[in-house]
Every structure is written in C-alpha cells, then in structure tokens.
Amino acid sequence: MKRRCISIFVIVLVALLSSCGRNIPLEDLTISLILGVDLDDEMNLIISESSPVFNEDAKKNIETYQLKAATIRDSRKYFDALATGEVTAAKIQVLLIGKRVLEHEGWFSILDTVYRNPSFSINTKVIVVDGPVSEVIFYEPDDKPQMPLYLKEVIDKNYIRTRTVESNLQVLHRQMYEKGMTPTLPKIIKENDVKFVGVVLLEENGKYVDALSIQETSFLLILMDKQKQELTLSIPITTFTDEGGIFNKNMLSIDISKVKSKVTTNYKQGKFHFNYKISMTVNIIERIFPKDKVKEAELKKLIEKELLSRFEAIIEKIQENKIDPIGLGIYARAFQYEQYKKVEKQWGEALSESNIDISLDIDINGTGAIK
C-alpha cells in the first residue's frame, strides 16, 4: 500500500516536472545575431536585426529586417510578424548603434532591457556606425562571412593588436555610470566595404563629441595602460624633410614590446596634476630612410619627440572636449578623494583645467635583421 502511494506520488510529480513543456527546436528559432538601433530622418527609432536561416529551401542563409518601433522590446512583436521562427535575443553578438542616436542625450536608457532581461548576453560587442545602420546590416559581401561574424572578428582582432578599446555591454554600462570616466566605443563605416575606422569619444551623458583615428586609439590605449600583445606604430620622423616623391622617405615603424605607463596624482593650487611616466621597449621593424641619416642615440630622441607630440595631441583633444576617456577620474578618486568628491559631478571640466604631464623613456631593443 505504502509503495503504491509513493509510486502514484512520483508519477504525479513527474507529470509536473518543468521545462518539458516549452521546448523549441533550433530550426524554428530566429536567432538574432545583430541588433541595430538607429534614428531615421524624422527622428523615429529604427530597430533592425539579422539572423541566420536554417532551411535548405531558402536561397539566402541570412534574413535581415528593419522597422520602426518605440523600444527594443517593442520591436519584437513586429519581428515576430516578419520572421520565420520565434525571435530570440539571447545570442546577439553585435549591437550596432547609429551615430545619429549618439548625437542625442539620454540614448542610453533605450538599452534598458538589455541589462534588465537576464537572457541577454552581456558580452555583446557594441559598435557605432558612422552613417545609417541599415547600410551595414543589409550589406552582404560575396567574399566575407556573415556580417555578425565578420564584425565580431574585426573588432576582436583590432582589440588584440591594441587598436580599439574594449567595448561590450558590460563595459559600456560601467563607463556610463562611472563618474570618473567617459565612454568610448569603436566605430565602423560603410564605404565600398565595411571597415573599422577608430573610436568615438562620448560625453558623460553619452552624447557624441569627437572621434579618434586608429593610430590615435593606440596612443589612448597606452595612456589607459591597456595595451595588448601586439602594438605597432608607424610615424613619420618630421625632423627630416620629406624629399617628396612617391615614397615617404621619412617613415619609421616601431613594434612596442613592453610598455609601462604609470600615473601619479597630485592636487596643488586648486588643480589636479597627473604625471605620466611611460617607458617603452621598442623594436624597429621598418625604416624607410637610410641608416646613415641619423645616429642611434639621436634616433631614440627623435622617436621620443614624435611620440610625445602625439600623446600631447590626444590629451589636448580630451581637455578641449571636457571628457575623460582615460579614466583619470578613477585615479583622482583613489588618491585625492576629498578634492575629487567636490568636482565629481563636473569631472570633465575639472580635468580640462588640470595639468597632465607626460615623460617618455624609450629603449630601442633591436633594429631587425638587416643593417
């Protein structure tokens, strides 16, 4: 009797078991891999998504839709009306944001669902599109893998080579809330091809202010002390007069194998002072001009001068725009807490008035296999 009771009980429980009820076969899902957020000419929010098609009969292996919607979640009902399967956002790899969106304050709140809904992946790459998002998301080149894969690879590769900032939803969230730092995002552009062109600098509230080229981004990353395995810089040594002609005879490429960038923070005379001490070990990897043009000891000085002027140009850009993509505010908070707290709300302004000095020390390690 007891055993029978237990077996009935078990059967009832098995019938109650969860997760058997709502299974969806993979081929019935429309798995969005790219989500695009943009504004059209009348300032309507445009949401687009792109997902692979798992169907033998379909000619194309990717389906892309674009539509007007009030919010990201709101767009799902329209996508469901269009797409073959149930649209799911759990596997989004890339979030494209149109530059036009960034030109308006308060755009960040549109991403609320991405953070609120636990099923969104927080590692989704965030990329800014200079121009309409639709041009990128509908672009189907013959010689490239599908757009989501391509975009992810491009950003990852440039990240490893110290050319773009780390940018995913998690990092964006941190930078948006952090008072001592302003956000930066990688930027792509669609001309003949879709290509990565540098990073955009945003204000504290997320509004677009300026952009950096690829090489400038490398310098920014050194200032942030975030260099990765590989870092190459190509610079003209401007002291030599370019003799003109087709080939730039004053170009030099250096491969930076080791960088140490240290900041000391001080507060004197109503101003923050940041002193950078950057030391690099470099290898000369390409030198177009002949060897006898300069002695090695002088070359070191020349490289230092060139690099320094580039660092200073970036600092100037930052201070002019009253932003802090480096995160010097985090240093200020850590070492000059009392003073920082006073200006926390207008940190960009405080930074623009502060002194940022850079001293550079280069050690030339090798000059390559030929003389």
Partner 1 sequence: MIKSKITLMQYIFLIHGVQMGVGVLTLPRELAENSGTDGWIAIIICWFLSIAASLVIIQIMKKYPNGTILDLLSHYFGKWIGKASHVIFALYFALLANVIFIREALFIQAWILPRTEIYIFILLLSIPSYLIVRKDISILGRYSELIFFMTLWIIIIYFIPLKHANWLHLLPLVKEGWEPILNTVKTSIFSFIGFEIAFFLYPFLQRKEKASMGIVIANTISLLAFLMITIGAFVFYSPDEITQYKEPTINILKVVEFQFIERLEIVFLSIYLFVISTTVLPLMFMTVFCTSQLAGKQDHKRHLFWFLLVECMFVVLFPPTYERNTILQQYIQQIGLILAFGLPLCLWGYVWLHGLFKRRAMQ
Question: Residues interacting with partner 1, by CB under 8 A?
Answer: 13, 16-19, 22, 90-91, 115, 118-119, 121-123, 170-171, 173-175, 177-179, 181, 330-331, 333-335, 337
Selection from 94, 78, 84 nearest residue 60 by Cα: 84
Q: Please identify, using beta-carbon distances, which residue of 230 and 296 lies nearer to partner 1.
A: 230
Q: Please identify, using beta-carbon distances, which residue of 120 and 311 lies nearer to partner 1.
A: 120
Q: Which two tokens stand for residue 76?
A: 């799902």
Is 340:334 a contact under the CB 8 Å cutoff? Answer: no
What is the closest distance, in whole angstroms, from the C-beta atom of residue 30 to partner 1 in the complex? 18
C-alpha to C-alpha distance for 198 and 190, rounded to whole angstroms: 13
What is the closest distance, in whole angstroms, from the C-beta atom of residue 21 to partner 1 in the complex? 8
C-alpha to C-alpha distance for 30 and 53, rounded to whole angstroms: 7
DSSP state of 293: G
What is the closest distance, in whole angstroms, from the C-beta atom of residue 300 to partner 1 in the complex? 32
Is 48:42 a contact under the CB 8 Å cutoff? Answer: no
Rg (CA), the chain: 26
Q: Please identify, using beta-carbon distances, which residue of 6 and 58 lies nearer to partner 1.
A: 6
What is the closest distance, in whole angstroms, from the C-beta atom of residue 119 to partner 1 in the complex? 8
Q: Please identify, using beta-carbon distances, which residue of 22 and 371 lies nearer to partner 1.
A: 22
C-alpha to C-alpha distance for 133 and 59, rounded to whole angstroms: 24
What is the closest distance, in whole angstroms, from the C-beta atom of residue 283 to partner 1 in the complex? 26
Q: Please identify, using beta-carbon distances, which residue of 119 and 269 lies nearer to partner 1.
A: 119
C-alpha to C-alpha distance for 244 and 263, rounded to whole angstroms: 40
What is the closest distance, in whole angstroms, from the C-beta atom of residue 214 to partner 1 in the complex? 23
Quote helix, strand, coil % in the chain, to nearest 5: 35, 30, 35
What is the closest distance, in whole angstroms, from the C-beta atom of residue 71 to partner 1 in the complex? 19
In this structure, the dihedral spanned by the alpha carbons of residues 140, 141, 146 and 147, taken in order and rounded to 10 degrees, is -70
Selection from 189, 208, 68 nearest residue 132 by Cα: 189
Q: Which two tokens stand for residue 14?
A: 């098995």
DSSP state of 41: T
